[in-house]
A = this chain, B = another copy of it.
Amino acid sequence: MFPDPPGCSFASDNAAGIHPEVLAAISAANTGHALAYGADSWTAQVEQEFNDLFGQKVSVFLTLNGTGTNILALATMLQPGESVLCTDWSHINDDEAAAPERILSTKLIPTPSVDGKMSVDSIHARAEALGNIHHAQPGVLSLTQATEWGTTYSVDEIGELCEVAHSYGMRVHVDGARIANAVAALGKGRAGLREMIVETGVDTMSFGGTKNGLMAAEAVIHLTPYPVQLGQHLRKQVNQLGSKMRFVAAQFIAALTDDRWLDWASHANSMATILHSGATGIIGDAAGAPPAVNSMFPTLPDSVAHPLRDWCFFWGWNSASSQHRWMTSWDTTHQDVDRFLEGLRLAVNHSEHRN
């Protein structure tokens, strides 16, 4: 029934490979010996580039994977006895296999969310527990930008959440596994990052790379200087220190050069917009809201979803609402989108024909 599937699936941006510029940078860094564990010139360079990117001195701890990055960020932020306030749908709460609880030995306090977003009211409500020794004491508020439901917080929203959190003595963490897509969507170039993260008062962020064309490279960024040795020690404690760190640094250097990271993310975002537009033409409102970034969450009956994902795999996202996730990446092509929409059309027709 179906033609050949698209070259790039719509399963996830982490199903994509390595951007050629990134692979070239890894290869270029493969020149003789360099001291391990970050005592190399590539790491020094990338730290300077992150300073430039954020427009101020930041503390940078390069890391190996997304879960570990969030855990390191939280490990550096949490004071003894403190817990983490997050949404029920947050990656740290729902998709990290209880690694945060295992490694941080603390509680994540999930709050109900709408479209994957934390509300100011949730912070106020939970802050009632502060000072009550029997309840978990939230010391860090964790937000995800872009969210797990493909939405974004506006700059003002982040600013207000930071303000409320800070008023209760909490620090604010942003899980930016897809920060590139969020900044690209803002349309202001790297200045958008400063507006979104620096000027809003965010304290610490997980800066994602792997979902945006890198092989395996993430970073914890402290917006205010953080003790270097302590951060490095904690990074080793949470299994996020590799020996040949120059190859992690080289990946980010490739991405930050000429703001390629934003180009790559912009491309993914626009492919999602095109995909959504095409899908709306086929399934109408079931295509869901237009993508803020690089994903959309269509509502599909099993009779459509099952054959379609057998042909070109994607993930179910909420079985209760029959929503699935289609996600684009730095390497998604127009042909991939066209081919996938062709498959969707066939699946829908076939499903209707059967009924």
**A residues bordering B, Cβ < 8 Å?**
7-9, 11-12, 14-18, 23, 26-27, 29-37, 64-68, 71, 75-76, 78-81, 83, 94-99, 101-103, 105-108, 110, 125, 128, 131, 133-137, 210-211, 215-216, 229-230, 232-244, 247, 313, 319-320, 329, 331
The answer to whether A99 and B236 have CB atoms under 8 Å apart is yes
Whether the pair A18, B247 counts as a contact (CB closer than 8 A) is: yes
Using A7-B33, A107-B98, A247-B216 as known contacts, say yes or no to A67 and B236 having CB atoms under 8 A apart. Answer: yes
Among B64, B98, B107, B229, contact of A65 (Cβ-Cβ < 8 Å) = B64
Per the bound structure, the CA–CA distance linking A79 and B227 in Å amounts to 13
Q: Roughly how many angstroms separate A244 CA and B131 CA in the complex, as a whole number?
A: 20
A336 to B, closest residue via Cβ: B33
The 6 closest A-B pairs by CB, nearest first: A68-B239, A14-B243, A98-B107, A97-B236, A239-B239, A98-B136
Inter-chain CA distance A215–B248, complex, in Å, is 10
Closest residue on chain B to residue A83 by CB atoms: B98
Q: Which residues of B contact A108 (CB under 8 A)?
A: 107
A9 touches which one: B33, B68, B97, B215 (CB < 8 A)? B33
30 contacts between A and B (CB under 8 A): A11-B35, A12-B243, A14-B243, A14-B244, A15-B34, A16-B33, A18-B247, A26-B215, A37-B133, A65-B241, A79-B80, A80-B230, A83-B101, A97-B233, A98-B106, A98-B107, A98-B137, A99-B236, A101-B107, A102-B237, A103-B238, A105-B105, A110-B110, A125-B320, A131-B229, A133-B229, A133-B236, A134-B236, A210-B243, A216-B243
| Cα-based distance from A234 to B34 in the complex (angstroms) | 32
Contacts of A16 in B (CB 8 A): 33
